[in-house]
Amino acid sequence: MAQHILNAVALGSVYLVFALGMALAWSTIGILNFAHGATFMFSAFTAHVVTQHVALPMPAVVLVAVAAGALIATLTQVLAFGPIMRRATDHRSAELRILIGGIGVAAIPLAIAERVTASAPFGFRGSTYQAQVFEIAGLRMTTTVLVIVVAGIGIGVGVWRWLATSRQGLALRAIGVDSETASLMGVDRSTLALGTMATAGALAGLAGALLTFQLGAIAPASGDQLLIKAFAIVVLGGLGSMGGVIVGAFVLAGAETFVLAMNQGTWVDAVSFGLIFAVLLLRPQGLFGRKEVRRT
């Protein structure tokens, strides 16, 4: 039982880091980035390629993935989303085109990674990192899990508090609530958008490195699955609430671990799909979201 809880917490931490990036860009600058999953995957892939040539320690591998994620997201913003936002006449068509743009962008790193790896899973075998197994109170635990949980919860709470209390956080939330007022406040939308996307990409990269360390290897196609799970998490927590993302990530991880523990492996994916559906049906604003789902 306790072992299951530990697994759920580790899984939830990775979900959290990943979903946090998605939620950050979506709830502030209004970008639901469908290339977020591909960014996650390709960051880990970049680190994989680097470790094949240089034997790096764990922190360096993580750093490479984080930098790669930030770079990919920045490029996505500069080459696709930025131009769309400048050209779109109304919000609804911008939303749709950003979705499509993200889908197009996502196909590129996926195609490259699948070609290089022949669609086989890849990992960080070239890294110098060796997981240590130890036991606390009868719980088998690895250093990897420890790092993941500490990093996940630390970053989750950090981003949440930063957004809630800091000046930049306030500016970001202002743009999410009302971009006109925000621009009156002197917030430069395109710079902020770029910074937000880079941060979101860095979080995707971090999640990519962490999950690859924990599982040993990930497949190129794993980005898409994670994308839908992250959507479920954000919807459950409520768009605009970072605290909600934290709760959502651990609820989803807990539910999935439970289904697995019941030996119902083939139903695992239904958890996130069902969650999306049920939440949107019963409580569209999520657990902690702003009261009104934006009118379209």
Partner 1 sequence: MIDWYFSHIVLIQSTLTTLLLALSVQVPLRAGVFSFAGVGCYGIGGYIAAIGMVHYGLSTATAILLAAVAGGVVAYALGLLIQRLTGLYLAMATVAFTLIISVLVVNGGDLTGGAAGLFGALGMLDTGHLLAVAAVVVAALTFTELGPLGRRVEAVREDPELASAMGINVARYRRATFAVSGVLGGLAGSMTVLLRSTVTPDDINFHLVVLALTIIIVGGSRSWIGALVGTVIFVWMPEMLAFVGEWEDVVYGVLVAAAAVYLPGGVTGAVVDGYRTYRRKRRETADSPPDAPPPQPAAAAVGGDS
Q: Which stretch in 8-16, 65-73, 179-187, 261-269 sits in contact with partner 1 by CB under 8 A? A: 261-269
Residue with tokens 């696709």: 80
Alpha-carbon gap, residue 155 to 133, rounded angstroms = 24
In the bound complex, what is the minimum distance in angstroms from residue 101's beta carbon to partner 1? Answer: 4
Dist CA 153 CA 247 (whole Å): 11
- Residues between 20 and 79 that touch partner 1 (CB under 8 A): 32, 79
Closer CB to partner 1, residue 71 or residue 106?
106
Segment near partner 1 (CB under 8 A); pick from 46-54, 93-101, 170-178, 182-190: 93-101
162 binds partner 1 (CB under 8 A): no
Interacting residue with partner 1 among 49, 97, 157, 261 (CB under 8 A): 97
Is the Cβ of residue 97 or residue 290 nearer to partner 1 in the bound state?
Answer: 97
Residues numbered 177 to 236 that lie near partner 1 (CB under 8 A) are: 224, 228, 231-232, 235
Distance in angstroms (rounded) separating the CA atoms of residues 173 and 179: 9
Q: Which of 68, 84, 206, 246 binds partner 1 (CB under 8 A)?
A: 84
User: 2-29 and 189-215 helices cross at what angle (nearest 10)?
Assistant: 160
- Answer yes or no whether residue 158 interacts with partner 1 by CB under 8 A: no
216/284 with CB nearer partner 1: 284
CA distance 87 to 295: 22
Q: Is 83 in the site for partner 1 (CB under 8 A)?
A: yes
Q: How far is the CB of 67 from partner 1 (least distance, A)?
A: 22
* The pair of three-digit structure tokens given for residue 256, joined into one six-digit string: 């999935």
- Strand-strand pairing, 217-218 and 122-123: antiparallel
* Binding positions for partner 1, 231-250, rule CB under 8 A: 231-232, 235
49 CB burial (10 A radius; 0-12, 13-18, 19+): middle
Helix ranges (DSSP H) in 118-221: 143-165, 167-177, 179-184, 189-215
Query: Do 292 and 178 contact (CB within 8 A), yes or no?
Result: no
| Least gap, CB of 28 to partner 1 (angstroms) | 15
Q: What is the identity of the amino acid at 244? A: G
Q: Which helix (H) or strand (E) holds 245?
A: helix 242-261
173 binds partner 1 (CB under 8 A): no
Contacts of 265 (CB under 8 A, 6+ apart): 259
From the CB of residue 226, how many other CB atoms can be counted at a distance below 10 Å?
A: 24
Decide if residue 294 touches partner 1 (CB under 8 A). Answer: yes
Distance CA 255, CA 224 (A): 20
Of positions 5, 107, 150, 164, contacts partner 1 by CB under 8 A: 107
The yes or no reply on residue 293 touching partner 1 (CB under 8 A) is yes
Q: Work out which of 3, 52, 78, 104 binds partner 1, going by CB under 8 A.
A: 104
The residues binding partner 1 (CB under 8 A) are 32, 79-80, 83-84, 87-88, 92-93, 95-101, 103-108, 110-112, 114-115, 224, 228, 231-232, 235, 266-267, 269-270, 272-274, 276-277, 280-281, 284, 293-296
